[in-house]
Amino acid sequence: MTQVFDKFNPVTEPLNGFTPSEDKSMEYGVQAFDKLFAAAQPGAVFSAPVVKGDITIILTSEVSSGGGFGFGKGFGPAGPSPKAEDATGPVSKEESQANMPVGGGTGMGGGGGASGRPLAVIMIGPDGVRIQPIVDATKIVITALTTFGMIFAAMLKIRRAARKI
């Protein structure tokens, strides 16, 4: 097997038309991270000020992002040559290994996401600065329904346990 690796230099010899210098997977990963974290810029958190009369309004937002990527690369013998014997007879194990095709491959995968929601409005006027929170009624209703559902399930469980006693 060492003969195979002595003959093959993965840095300079092409493999299926690609060399590591031509492999764009790392570049694509960096571009994806740049796009993902662009959402965390100050312009995404604070809107451009809107002036109406003597009042300036700025919208603030909560921005969350995350992601993960993985890269893999491997080189090695692809397996025994399909030609197990030549014109002179069977091929020895050493000759078979020396004539083995070199295999290899690369892989990349990843994913991510970003989300944002308005948090508050900052109003700056002659009377000073006022911060008005933005209340998301949907989240409050969902939380209340979930809480009541859990309480109801717990009460049923307690009632069933009391019957068994």
Residue 4 has pLDDT above 70, yes or no: no
Q: How far apart are CA 78 and CA 74, in angstroms?
A: 11
pLDDT of residue 89: 58
Inter-residue contact 112 to 66 (CB < 8 Å)? yes
Inter-residue contact 69 to 36 (CB < 8 Å)? no
Express each pLDDT in 34-72 by its tens digit.
Answer: 776 776 677 778 889 999 999 999 999 988 877 777 888
Distance of CA 56 to the CA centre of its chain: 38
Q: At 11, is the pLDDT very low, low, confident or very high (cuts 50, 70, 90)?
A: very low
pLDDT of residue 93: 59
Express each pLDDT in 101-146 by its tens digit.
Answer: 667 778 878 777 778 888 999 999 999 999 999 998 998 999 999 9
13 backbone dihedrals φ, ψ, rounded to 5°: -90, 135
Q: At 25, is the pLDDT very low, low, confident or very high (cuts 50, 70, 90)?
A: low
